[in-house]
Amino acid sequence: MARVRCITEMGMGVDVHGRDATKAAKRAVSDAIRHSSLGFFRMIDKTANDMFVDVTIAVPNPEAVDKDAVAKELPYGTVTVNAVKGGLEIPSAPEQGNDPILIANAAVIVSFEKE
């Protein structure tokens, strides 16, 4: 069956100390979904569990993202997480040693199967 995209949300997450790509990714997903309240399920005769949620995380080191941990940030639907190269790493000041700030971007796309 074909899917119909209904919602696209974007978010940003930061790990200020520790350079943890998963922590920044989880914060980006949380940022994206905290701006929404989906109230159209009855109108389309669906439930929150009928959703397909496709997440794309952009970080400088995509292989460091724990995709299962990121997926747990989303309480409903069938969740798929993909990590790609992107985001931003801001070097720390020289006197602070090697402690860059890591920024992750998230795109959260919700779709439903079209009947």
Domain of 18, in residue numbers = 3-113
Of all helices (H) and strands (E), which one includes residue 29? helix 21-33
Residue 89 above 80 pLDDT? yes
Candidate from 30-44, 49-63, 67-81, 86-100 with smallest mean pLDDT: 30-44
Q: How many domains does the chain have?
A: 1
Strands 52-59, 78-85: pairing kind: parallel
What confidence category does residue 24 fall into, taking pLDDT thresholds of 50, 70 and 90?
Answer: very high
Chain segment 29-38, per-residue pLDDT in tens: 999 999 787 7
User: Residue 105: which CATH number?
Assistant: 3.30.1330.20
Using the Cα atoms of residue 61, residue 62, residue 67 and residue 71 in order, give the sign of their dihedral: positive
Residue 115 above 80 pLDDT? no
